Chain A
Amino acid sequence: GAVVSQHPSWVICKSGTSVKIECRSLDFQATTMFWYRQFPKQSLMLMATSNEGSKATYEQGVEKDKFLINHASLTLSTLTVTSAHPEDSSFYICSARDSMSGSGELFFGEGSRLTVL
């Protein structure tokens, strides 16, 4: 099956710093990628839809200036948490859909656990 890789798997940072998380589709092209946030023992909350070559579409209530998304190529999307604070600590998961497939299936990365001290 298609593989999506996220990096880093976990990161600890100081409050006020910025953290970048990468999401790569390794063996397929993805014009659309999705970023989710998951709190402990809760479901995935869609943060934004990342579109290759254009601006991301953010869900209501998600601060676009706080969570910067860049989708510069068909295989890479990045999420940057700017000026991170402890309340940004969470598990961030990306997913991608194969552009050549009409299946609608999402392929998920392994997730990135962010801890802000």
Chain B
Amino acid sequence: AQSVTQPDIHITVSEGASLELRCNYSYGATPYLFWYVQSPGQGLQLLLKYFSGDTLVQGIKGFEAEFKRSQSSFNLRKPSVHWSDAAEYFCAVGAGNTGGFKTIFGAGTRLFVKA
């Protein structure tokens, strides 16, 4: 069965510093991978996704993620964090075919940004 692990429950970075959020997945085939962001009391917004092709994917708000099959990882990065990036970040894996697969979420990593 597929699963997603986000090792860091929370991370604190200074504004302007770089950021990397870790994500490891378990799935037998090539997964569909996603990163979502959730602000308090709100739904989720897609930052980026990987299905195939270039393993470095660009997303919205200056985020990028790199798929590394050998490490079963899909870490999220941003070169310079802004205070507005403070939120909960979820890595997710989609398994099955596009007509009927499930999306499984990691536990989430809460990002705190200090001035």
Contacts and interface: CB of A to CB of B under 8 A. Distances in A.
B105 A43 contact: yes
A56 to B, nearest CB: 13
Interface class of chain A by DSSP: strand
Interface in A71-117: 91, 93, 95, 102-111, 113
B34 A105 contact: yes
Contacts, number: 56
Nearest to A59: B102
Interface residues of B, number: 24
Interface size class of A (residues with CB under 8 A): 20 to 34
Contacts of B110: 41
Interface of A: 4, 6, 32, 34, 41-44, 46, 49, 91, 93, 95, 102-111, 113
